[in-house]
Structure 1
Amino acid sequence: MTILQNYKQNEYAQGLKNLLPTGFAWPKDEASLLNQIAQGFSYAFQDMDILSCETIDEVFPGTSTVLLPIWQKTLGICDAPTDIQEQRNQVVALLTATGAISNSYFINFAKQLGYTLTIIEYGGIISGIYRCGDSVGTCQDYSYEFDVTFVVHGTNDYTILQNTFAAILPPYVRIYYISDINS
């Protein structure tokens, strides 16, 4: 999938022969040595042309193939999915992540990775329920953490989502994953 139009091998060979001077010392017929040399060079020119036309596709991670491992290494992606499009989606999602801690942010981030997500939050100490002087803390006080359950709809395999979220979630969030295949 390239945006630019590239030249074919025979067009390069003809172009090279057109650059040669005219005369008996420069035969351009099919059996001549100069024609064979032009044909040989034209393969290299065609390869360079194809690669240069694909450069635009390669620098954008949503269409990259050859440079995709470099994008992944740059972003610190270790456990990449096997499907090339899922790898591209993961790279694009991480590059466009703005960083937030709202439900809608994580739902939209999961959607970029190809997952449908519902978030269940668990509350901590709520004003009005507890009164001053109540004993609410223990030696293992986890009030600095909060728990969230991600319900992943439609699939049992959400390892890409787990690996990607592990890199961007704050350390004080404890995540539980549940698969809901029926929805």
Structure 2
Amino acid sequence: MPAPIYSISDFASAILRLLPRGPIWPRASDSTVSAVASVWAPAFQRSAARAAHLLTDAFPSTAIELLPAWESALGLPDPCAGSNPLLSQRQAQVVSRLTDNGGSSAEYYINLAKSLGYDITITMFTPSRFGQARFGSPYLGRAWAYVWQINCSDIGIQSAQFAKSLFGNPYRTWGLNVLGCEMRARAPARTTLIFNFSAGNPTPLDQFILNIGTLS
């Protein structure tokens, strides 16, 4: 159940109800007592709002005020997210790092991408062998035994949402930098990771290659 939200007038009324009764404590809207209550009420309202907001900030997926503290504990923000990432992107990256237990299976990387907001599939390759490859198909040398490919047709459009963005955030951002950085950081050292961001069937010769060097 969400925390109750009280307005300034709610606190002003509560203050008046708590004051003593009698001729010297008039409740009229133009009285000095009401004026004092209207001065105190905003301070109580701000304190209550911040206390209620602390309940949402206790969880990284909804944190706003405490988000920088979460990021600092996890080595964020990093250059992958750009200079002005959306609030939702920052929250997703914090959640992803907090829930990351490590792994090297295809399922692990698919779930990691999901926590960042992307749906991916993974393609593995094997070197070409005589008599096992179709005529005209690309030749894959021995180095391809250590290559794996992330397929993602989502081009990384992130749109700002009401009450889920910070002042100064762009209305929309493009790019898959966070996905690429997080995946490269967790790729096994012996492997080469490539990315396919096309919507069609992935092929090893139709790639967007990120820092992989030359394959033989």
Distance 1:69 1:181 in 2: 36
Partner residue in 2 for 1:135:
none
Gap change, CA 1:174 and 1:73, over 3 Å in 2 = farther
Identity %: 26
Q: Is the 8 A contact 1:61 1:71 kept in 2?
A: yes
How much has 1:73 moved relative to structure 2? Answer: 2.1
Q: Distance in 1 between matches of 2:92 and 2:153?
A: 18
The answer on 1:153 being equivalent to 2:153 is yes
Change (3 A) 1:31 1:75: same
Q: Distance in 2 between matches of 1:31 and 1:103?
A: 70
Task: Give CA deviations for 1:20-52 in whole Å, capped at 9, x if unaligned.
Answer: 112233232211222111111111111111111
| CA gap 1:169/1:37 in 2 versus in 1, 3 angstroms | farther
Say if 1:69 and 1:171 are closer, same or farther in 2 by CA, change over 3 A: farther
Cα contact 1:27–1:34 (8 A) shared by 2:
yes
How is 1:36-75 mapped onto 2 (pairs within 5 angstroms)? 36-75=35-74
Where do 5+ consecutive residues of structure 2 fail to align?
Answer: 128-142, 157-174, 202-216
Change (3 A) 1:69 1:44: same
Contact persistence 1:154–1:182 (CA under 8 A): no
Q: CA deviation at 1:122?
A: 4.2
Q: Distance in 2 between matches of 1:99 and 1:22?
A: 65
Which among 96, 107, 110 is matched to residue 107 of structure 1?
110
Contact 1:75–1:91 (CA under 8 A) maintained in structure 2: yes
The match for 2:181 among 156, 160, 163 is: 163
Matches within 5 A, 1:85-100: 85-100=88-103
- TM-superposed CA distance for 1:161, in Å, is 0.4
Q: Which has the larger radius of gyration?
A: 1
User: Given the two structures, how large is their TM-score scaled by the length of structure 1?
Assistant: 0.76
Cα shift at 1:182 = 4.1
- Paired amino acid for 2:118: Y
- Provide the C-alpha distance between the structure 2 equivalents of 1:182 and 1:120, rounded to a whole number of angstroms: 13
The alignment of Structure 1 onto Structure 2 pairs a total of residues equal to 163
Runs of 4+ displaced beyond 4 Å: none
Q: Secondary structure at the match of 2:192?
A: strand
Q: RMSD in angstroms over aligned alpha carbons?
A: 2.5
CA distance in 1, matches of 2:70, 2:185: 15
What's the offset of the Cα at 1:150?
Answer: 1.9
1:112 positional shift: 2.0
Q: State the match for 1:129 in structure 2.
A: none
**Equivalent residue of 1:119, what SS?**
strand
